[in-house]
Structure 1
């Protein structure tokens, strides 16, 4: 892995003694069709939850976004994605929202979609082209765009975040790349690549979650299964500049033992709440990258944490919302959004006003 050694911050993967929390409640169960929810975004009085984020979807129904209320926690409406070739693999990973409240979703087939609310319905349009399928750099022609991975894998768009200028940053879990869409969408461009973002193991998910830090000076990205050792995952950060270099990559925190960091969110406190799909827990990091606490299920919880994928703050209810992906168990009873009080609020995401 190529890491800036001068500023590396490796924290002890073990949480502080006596810091585990219970009291996880159910916010909403998500329908088994299509199941495997992953993305979540909160805007105004609405919570958007997207899926399915899984393989084996060929021949099954369309991808969907479920719209819940932040206060009543009821299912207000369902957005069904149009235009997917249902006979082939199709999935919807993560979502984001802009200033006017339009919803953006990453489709493995269709690229970056945008949904505009019209009453209780949403109008779908194409915002950004699908991610390109890059050859490995070993096989690419000199000077051609390529992927710094040892084997040729297709693109897998995973998570998305906006900056204040309206650029959308998207992680590609199979191509060790962070792409960027310009304000207004169109074709994605390569923003950052590194072999450190490549995945390894049977399901080689590398670059996964992505967010801006509260100072808007860095882009944070998680790697779920590292190429060098798939039992190790990590959170990195990259300077938020137009053209960062590979040497700019900094390690914030490393997770050993197959804990599999996935999505994350910054709190107003500066703490980082990281989902651990392999450990069925939420790891809470301080501003220096040290783990200060861990949120885990207790026997009293109605639905246990099951491969949590993403988190978002519901400030209206003073809770952290957790998407139960249940990817490894496949247990439809655990497809849900959970909630827990953490004594923190959201570091507000950028929601630019886009063309």
Structure 2
């Protein structure tokens, strides 16, 4: 899911990054810790298969009777078709419509990562090329407009001029917008996986500002995805963020939280849970129960954390599931059925048969996401 970055990454950190990422994740499968006591297997069903074009779905948002799924989030999109958002019904589970992104330079890397919805039901999507896009329903289709400018390409702090905005990463990497969450005032918080930064868009959009930075959010290894998923906690006191591959040890991934204040300090960063053995935490969502449902892309599982940050259980595939969990990327709730919807990213396998949204009963509903009414 990179915009004009493969050549830059090769210059910055050596060759074979894409291949290295697959090697890292493949090795992780042999290192995954045994499932926690109380793990739950089976019961995973197919909600909907997502089209192989563009494939590699990542983002998901539920609004009323609609489920939005975005993609592709992968490498190697240069020369391929445009990014898309697929619209499903929560009850019929049929593909109702497709939103096709316009304005991408298709000859270069292009992708959509994650999405969110506001009070009037408009859809916001993070484009690696175009920034934060907004889609408004108009009849049977959707109208696209630019809402927020693309994330800035920050120099590494070691090479930055005095007073210049910079990235607390050891090498200069391009911005990679990954996940998005609104607060009740309409600010949109966006993780940048390669620049160890959480940006914030003011209500109404425009240029993003740096909200929080820390070397702890920097990624490591051949595919240095650091800050990834982001959500507000049920009390709206903290912003939670996942780090997929830590800089200090790429086999370690973490869930952190940061006070939801206007200008948090780096010292305010607090570790909630740590995953070892290359389990690669990605997106997550809070249930109304207070539990946190975390996708583990390297472990092909969903980790369920209790309110104290301990792992209460796991959701894993069984041989009788039609489609196995395959690098799950994000989750959302179908409240009416108390099921968890899981986006099967299938990034490692690349198996188009596994591009899907899966569902599993969890007896929980969503902690309602903030859906502000924005200008």
TM-score after normalising by structure 1:
0.96
**Pair 300,127 (structure 1): closer, same or farther in 2 beyond 3 Å:** same
**Deviations, residues 29-80 of structure 1 (Å, cap 9, x unaligned):** 0000000000000000000000000010000000000000000000000000
Contact 1:40 1:95 in 2 (8 A): yes
Contact 1:3 1:251 in 2 (8 A): no
CA shift, 1:20, in A, is: 2.1
**Pair 184,212 (structure 1): closer, same or farther in 2 beyond 3 Å:** same
Aligned residues: 353
Contact 2:295 2:330 in 1 (8 A): yes
**Pair 248,66 (structure 1): closer, same or farther in 2 beyond 3 Å:** same
Contact 1:182 1:188 in 2 (8 A): yes
- SS in structure 2 of the partner of residue 60 of structure 1: coil
Q: Distance in 1 between matches of 2:127 and 2:194?
A: 15
CA shift, 1:120, in A, is: 1.5
Q: Distance in 1 between matches of 2:256 and 2:114?
A: 19
CA shift, 1:244, in A, is: 0.2
CA shift, 1:9, in A, is: 23
Contact 1:134 1:146 in 2 (8 A): yes
Q: Distance in 1 between matches of 2:354 and 2:103?
A: 29
Q: Distance in 1 between matches of 2:336 and 2:363?
A: 13
Contact 2:28 2:251 in 1 (8 A): no
Give the structure with the higher percent helix. 2
**Pair 10,218 (structure 1): closer, same or farther in 2 beyond 3 Å:** farther
CA shift, 1:5, in A, is: 31
Contact 1:10 1:252 in 2 (8 A): no
CA shift, 1:8, in A, is: 28
Pairs within 5 Å for 1:79-228: 79-228=99-248
CA shift, 1:246, in A, is: 0.3
Q: Distance in 1 between matches of 2:152 and 2:334?
A: 34
CA RMSD of aligned residues (A): 4.5
Contact 1:8 1:252 in 2 (8 A): no
CA shift, 1:220, in A, is: 0.1
Q: Which consecutive unaligned segments of at least 5 residues does structure 1 have?
A: none
Moved over 3 A (4+): 1-11
Contact 1:137 1:146 in 2 (8 A): yes
**Pair 66,4 (structure 1): closer, same or farther in 2 beyond 3 Å:** closer
Q: Which consecutive unaligned segments of at least 5 residues does structure 2 have?
A: 1-22
**Pair 328,135 (structure 1): closer, same or farther in 2 beyond 3 Å:** same
TM-score after normalising by structure 2:
0.91
Q: Distance in 2 between matches of 1:90 and 1:54?
A: 9
Q: Distance in 2 between matches of 1:320 and 1:7?
A: 24
- SS in structure 1 of the partner of residue 25 of structure 2: coil
**Deviations, residues 309-338 of structure 1 (Å, cap 9, x unaligned):** 000001122210000000011000000000
Contact 1:200 1:206 in 2 (8 A): yes
**Pair 186,118 (structure 1): closer, same or farther in 2 beyond 3 Å:** same
